[in-house]
Copies of this chain bind each other. A is one copy, B any other.
């Protein structure tokens, strides 16, 4: 079910969180602590917003494990940024390991990640696809439930590259609601794990959610300091009190180093 981190704050280099932290993302790619299956070795991806005023993020993805990719260690050490996403993948059974399936997914200024899995996705995938606009349909390049969820989100904001925060929040709620509706249409009553993350480089939104109330959602934490906010599938350090657990069925929004928490009603 993957692991991810998101950073916004003062200029930093990605390696601090991807490689250097005691429970870094690379560490989690080999041995995640909060998962039954600790391995996230089916590729990785990063997306960063350049310092020089380019609003379109750069991305770097690979089907190789994060731990052995020498290009990742170079790029993570050499590019200054104030906002980045990073993701290590544990492919669902039957899902190809390909670059098109690596997170983060990108559209214009947006980056999207998913930590989770829509159970029985293959049973309602075509229903989702039929429901998409042509633009959203054509946007999809890979095979994942995660990218489908992003396509729904993009339809919800009408592919608006300058959507305000409120619209992003509404779209996130609608995305979760629509996925639940698609599940119901085929009686897919096992769980949908929907920890989603989106950013436009200035504002970032995260959900922690599982469809079934008897199933614990995937873990999600954040750490806020004067200089930055990190949202992460697992605490990146051993100092437990630095990290706030995000409650289930929650939407959190980050802007200007502020965290706003609200219920994610389904």
- Asked if A109 CB lies within 8 Å of chain B CBs, one says no
**In the complex, what residues of B have CB within 8 A of residue A39's CB?**
30-31, 39, 41
- Asked if A59 CB lies within 8 Å of chain B CBs, one says yes
Alpha-carbon distance A74/B59, docked complex (angstroms): 6
Alpha-carbon distance A246/B41, docked complex (angstroms): 32
Binds B, one of A96-104, A165-173, A225-233: A96-104
- Asked if A119 CB lies within 8 Å of chain B CBs, one says no
Beyond A39-B39, A54-B78, A60-B74, is A96–B65 a contact (Cβ under 8 Å)? no
Q: How far is the CB of A262 from chain B (nearest CB, A)?
A: 33
Asked if A68 and B52 sit within 8 Å, CB to CB, the answer is no
- Asked if A163 CB lies within 8 Å of chain B CBs, one says no
Interface residues of A in 133-149 (CB under 8 A from B): 134, 137-138, 141, 143
**In the complex, what residues of B have CB within 8 A of residue A41's CB?**
30, 39, 41, 65, 67-68
| Chain B residue with the shortest CB-CB distance to A134 | B126
Interface residues of A in 107-126 (CB under 8 A from B): 122, 125-126
**In the complex, what residues of B have CB within 8 A of residue A141's CB?**
96, 143
Interface residues of A in 16-56 (CB under 8 A from B): 30-31, 39, 41-42, 48, 50-52, 54
Q: What 1/0 mask marks residues of chain A from 45 to 83 whose CB sits below 8 Å from any chain B CB?
A: 000101110100111111111011011001101111000
Asked if A98 and B100 sit within 8 Å, CB to CB, the answer is yes
- Asked if A197 CB lies within 8 Å of chain B CBs, one says no
Interface of A is mostly: mixed
| Chain B residue with the shortest CB-CB distance to A78 | B58
Q: How far is the CB of A137 from chain B (nearest CB, A)?
A: 6
Q: How far is the CB of A25 from chain B (nearest CB, A)?
A: 16
Alpha-carbon distance A75/B77, docked complex (angstroms): 14
CB pairs A–B below 8 angstroms (20 shown):
A30-B39, A39-B41, A41-B67, A42-B68, A48-B78, A50-B78, A50-B79, A50-B80, A51-B52, A54-B78, A57-B78, A58-B78, A60-B74, A60-B75, A61-B70, A65-B65, A75-B75, A96-B99, A100-B143, A126-B134
Enumerate the 8 nearest inter-chain pairs by beta-carbon distance, A residue then B residue, closest first.
A58-B78, A68-B97, A98-B98, A58-B74, A41-B41, A60-B71, A50-B78, A52-B80
